[in-house]
A and B are shown apart, each in its own frame.
Chain A
Amino acid sequence: MSASRNHLMVHDGPALRARGVTKRFGSLVAVDSVDLDVAVSEVVVMLGPSGSGKSTLLRCFNGLERLDAGVIEVAGIRLDPECDSIHDVRARVGMVFQQFNLFPHLNALENVALAPRIVRKLSKDQAMAEARQRLERVGLATKLDAYPAELSGGQQQRVAIARALAMDPQVMLFDEPTSALDPEMIGEVLAVMRDLAESGMTMIVVSHEIGFAREVAHRVIFLDEGRILESGSPDQVLSAPRHPRAKEFFDKVL
């Protein structure tokens, strides 16, 4: 925990580098030797049919899935699930889940302040003050003492984003952050994500929100059967996909 967590930390290479990343579940190859570089402040949206391996790939990026082959580096630091430093690396990679996964026994403020207190070892007062600011930033200044079960889906997801940001991550991962939300709550979560992108956060987003991809992403990636089939600017990938699978997919969803 000696290296700086500041995301302005001097590091020449990409924020995230993946080489030959492979993940199998039994005989199924979920992620098939994927190479990917994500630059600092880049926003990448990963699209693809369900079962294409995009969520699995995202989960590899913070070590929630153990790799069968390949290497992942975050800000130049190797991510190795076998090693104790995995906790250090994970602390630099924020993760937002489809089902929010807030801690139901803690209120919004405590949800955000917990990791800074016990992982970053901040004092309670400092962690709480920071958590309050983060929640204000996602528009939840009035919900600090609310428990997750008392919040709407959109509010819960915004608390989850604040919780991930509380570790000052260098990369933020979003795993279908709006898929579990009622339609009228999707906008408030996407707005927070758009703000974050504008502030220069490096983001990798698995999503079905084509509008968000078109508007916010610097790069769109299309995956199928665990492979990256298409990668380029939103315009190019969404409007003029080259690969027949991608063409077929976008014909259906657009």
Chain B
Amino acid sequence: MAHRGGSTIDFLANQGLLAVKILKFLAPAVPMTVAVTVLSFALALFLGLAVGLAQITGYRPLVLLAKGYVDVLRGIPLLVQIFFIYFGLAGFLNLERFAAGVLAIGICYSAYLAEIIRSGIESIARGQHEAAASVGMSNIQAMRYVILPQATRVIIPPAANEFIACLKDSSLVSIIGLRELTRAGREFYSQYFVDFQTWLFVGVVYLCMTLLLTRLTRHLERRFAVRGFGTSVRR
């Protein structure tokens, strides 16, 4: 960063003004980033639970279908999936940018969550299923009252990681023209041509949001902790 004439104080003052200018420009795009993240992750949780449970039904066609779903979606870059849903499927279902972006991220992340949910459920000891069965619970009752509440505790930390990754990956929908944080950064750059400061502050805003999520995660882990059971966190 060369000093374009003037004193150091002028330079710092200018940088400060630039920072304020960038942040003011980026701020209106934050709600879009949040909306894409929250909606696509909610979709991912819903689909992931369905696909994760489908894998443990023991009903072979359903298990194979669910495993195929996970393998395919995990094996293709998210960016390609976004292009496919927005441009590739445009002839069949002409989705809005927002819907296409949420759908693409939601479906892609559901594959990861399905694996997390499946392995979380499978981590619960066989004896828990047997204890639930032997007091007369049906499989569905056992899942709802005995297995899932325990699996939730196992699922929360890795699922929270996915939530944070999902927030960061929401930047990919800038490419189909959704005006979220990254898109706003590009617009600012193309108006003012300051690349260092623009991307620095875009990064800082993302970082603030992810750090906030990390704290939220810890809170959730504490809420689901059980006294004296497998964790040092007390509620």
In the assembly, what is the distance between CA of A99 and CA of B141, in Å?
A: 22
Q: Known contacts being A97-B127, A150-B228, is A105 close to B136, with CB within 8 Å?
A: no
A118 touches B227 (CB 8 A): no
B133 touches A90 (CB 8 A): yes
When each residue 143-154 of chain B gets 1 if its CB lies under 8 Å from chain A and 0 otherwise, what string results? 001100110010
B135 touches A115 (CB 8 A): yes
B136 touches A88 (CB 8 A): yes
Across-interface contacts of A91 in B (CB, < 8 A): 135-136
Across-interface contacts of B196 in A (CB, < 8 A): none
B134 touches A93 (CB 8 A): yes
Contact-size category for B: 20 to 34
Q: Known contacts being A97-B130, A101-B128, A101-B131, is A147 close to B228, with CB within 8 Å?
A: yes
Of B131, B136, B137, the most chain A CB neighbours within 10 A belong to: B136
Across-interface contacts of A97 in B (CB, < 8 A): 127, 130-131
Q: Known contacts being A99-B127, A104-B229, A149-B226, is A119 close to B135, with CB within 8 Å?
A: yes
Across-interface contacts of A71 in B (CB, < 8 A): none
Which residues 61-106 in A have Cβ within 8 Å of B in the complex? 62-64, 87-88, 90-91, 93-95, 97, 99, 101-105
In the assembly, what is the distance between CA of A93 and CA of B134, in Å?
A: 7
Cβ of A114 within 8 Å of any chain B Cβ, yes or no, is yes
In the assembly, what is the distance between CA of A105 and CA of B145, in Å?
A: 10
Cβ of A164 within 8 Å of any chain B Cβ, yes or no, is yes
Cβ of A148 within 8 Å of any chain B Cβ, yes or no, is yes
The 7 closest A-B pairs by CB, nearest first: A91-B136, A149-B228, A115-B135, A95-B134, A101-B131, A101-B127, A149-B229
Having A95-B130, A105-B149, one finds 20 other A-B pairs with CB under 8 Å, namely A87-B136, A87-B137, A87-B138, A88-B136, A90-B135, A101-B127, A102-B131, A103-B128, A105-B150, A114-B146, A118-B145, A119-B135, A119-B136, A119-B137, A147-B228, A149-B226, A149-B228, A163-B135, A164-B134, A167-B135
